[in-house]
Amino acid sequence: MELFNDIRPYNDAEVSDILKRLSKDKAFHNILVKYNYPLISKYCGWLLTPVVGLMLANKLKKISKVDDFQQIVAKYMDKMIQETTDSVTISGIDNLDKDKSYTFISNHRDIALDPGLINYSLHKKGFDTCRIAIGDNLIDLPFVQDLMRLNKSFIVKRSVENRRQKLKELNKLSAYINSCIETNSSLWIAQSEGRAKDGNDITESAIIKMLELTHRKEEDSLNFTVEKLNIIPVSISYEYDPCDYAKAEELFEYDRQGCYTKQENEDMTSIAMGIKGYKGNIHIAFGSKVTGNYTTAQEVATAIDKQIHSLYRCHPNNLYAWEMLKKTNQQEKLLIDETKANIEITGFSDEKYYKFIQRVTECNQKHLPWLLKMYAYPLINRYHNS
């Protein structure tokens, strides 16, 4: 496994040294102070930082294995769910076999919560947690990489620009993913390189091509890969996206200027916002194993999309957004009426409606069309797959 040392998660034998490093990392301590004591940190964070460091070192002494660390993560997930959601429901997971390993491919809305909720679901149902693919753009700081790799994350080297080196890294990534399945370890990868900020969940065929690289010498390598990797599409539906205003602004700027420049630490801010922000009801739907006789990677991607779209649990605000977005188009009105009849959406109430209207009202009106699109797209995709 030395081939994968620079990208794989940490193992139990490495935990002690990594925790000692974290207990001395002042940048990590500063982040903890800002996150846990946002008001106090503005004025006397320098006083709190060494205290937090000592508290952290004491807490980390109790951890000796990766599973110990994940048990702590599970407690924070429980707290986050209790404080920022109305409910979290799970479906389809009982159809999985605890003795098998799977490649979970899900829609991608939140940097940390998507894989976090999938692992939370597995943990609650008595499955081993899965390994998590993360881009190297998220691990600029050493302590972030340590935390991620302690939590079973493996690194996708997206920042490599040299074509030859990029192909080498893609081959390594493909080999690592296949080795996970061979050693009975499930894993998660997002259906696209970045979050679907506009709510349009589409699987990139390049991901399927990357998975196939390891088996390209096999006869019918594409179907060999699909069969071996036990691909399970997963659809995660958030009633509310805590990052929706920020995403709408980014989409607006990209549409207006053709580009968008991220602010410093913007990804870390998005992670914190996603964890701390209100999410309403969340549903995690595990699909069935992707099977079939495919001739192209795009056909496999389309099969994954079909499950993700059809399994998406639509909320009333998805319909509200679609109605607001298309209220002047008669043809779309007919589609909305048909959708109301054919797609089950529960939970309608005056409270739900006014909560969404408040969200719309408080949004920068220049960004509003993009906000509406991100909430409408899941319903549009669900309609076309119903």
Q: Domain residues for 198?
A: 2-13+64-312
pLDDT of residue 141: 81
Decide which of 260, 282, 312 is a domain's last residue.
312
Q: What is the 8-class DSSP label of residue 264?
A: T
CB 345 within 8 A of CB 318: yes
Sorting pLDDT into bands at 50, 70 and 90, what band is 206?
very high
Lowest pLDDT segment from 14-18, 122-126, 258-262, 309-313: 258-262
| pLDDT class of 84 with cuts at 50, 70, 90 | very high
Q: Are residues 381 and 234 part of one domain?
A: no
Q: Check residue 332 and give its pLDDT.
A: 55
Which tens digit of pLDDT belongs to each residue from 207-261? 999 999 999 989 999 999 999 999 999 999 999 999 999 999 999 999 999 888 8
Q: For 326-383, how does the pLDDT look when each residue is reduced to its tens digit (9 = 90+)?
A: 765 555 555 566 666 567 888 889 999 999 999 999 999 999 999 999 999 999 898 8
Sign (positive or negative) of CA dihedral 120, 123, 127, 129: positive
Domain boundary residue, one of 292, 312, 332: 312
Residue 23 counted as domain residue:
no
| 104 and 187 inside one domain | yes
Q: How far apart are CA 155 and CA 177, in angstroms?
A: 11
Strand ordering across the sheet containing 131-135: 85-91, 280-286, 231-238, 103-106, 187-190, 131-135, 153-156
Give dist(CA 29, CA 26) in Å, integer.
5
Q: pLDDT: is 160 or 337 the higher one?
A: 160
* Average pLDDT taken over every residue of the chain: 91
Element (H, E) at 169: helix 163-182
**Which of 97 and 386 is assigned the larger pLDDT?**
97
Question: Which pLDDT does position 36 carry in this prediction?
Answer: 75
- Total domains in the chain come to 2
Kindly list the distances between the CA atom of residue 49 and the CA atoms of 121, 137, 268, in Å, as whole numbers in the listed order.
34, 26, 19
Phi, psi angle pair for 155, to nearest 5°: -100, 130
Provide, rounded to the nearest whole percent, the portion of the chain with pLDDT above 70. Answer: 95
Position 25 pLDDT exceeds 60 = yes
Reported residue count of the chain is 386
pLDDT class of 41 with cuts at 50, 70, 90 = confident
pLDDT (tens digit per residue) in 262-308: 887 788 889 989 999 999 999 999 999 999 999 999 999 999 999 99
Note whether 358 and 245 are within 8 A (CB).
Answer: no
| Final residue of a structural domain among 265, 292, 312 | 312
Q: Which helix (H) or strand (E) holds 335?
A: helix 330-342
Residue 21 lies in a domain: no
In a domain, 34, yes or no: no
Assess whether pLDDT exceeds 60 at residue 104: yes
Q: What was the pLDDT predicted at 82?
A: 97
Average pLDDT over residues 188-206: 96
Task: Please give the angle made by the CA atoms of 70, 73 and 79, to the nearest 5 degrees.
Answer: 150
The percentage of the chain sitting over the pLDDT mark of 90, rounded to a whole number, equals 73
DSSP string, 15-66: HHHHHHHHHT-HHHHHHHHHHH-HHHHHHHHHHHHHHHHHHHHHHHTT--SH
Which of 45-54, 81-90, 109-118 is predicted least confidently?
Answer: 45-54
Residue 127 banded pLDDT, cuts 50, 70, 90: very high
Residues 304 and 360 in one domain: no
29-54 mean pLDDT: 77
CATH of the domain at 243: 3.40.1130
The pLDDT of residue 74 is: 93
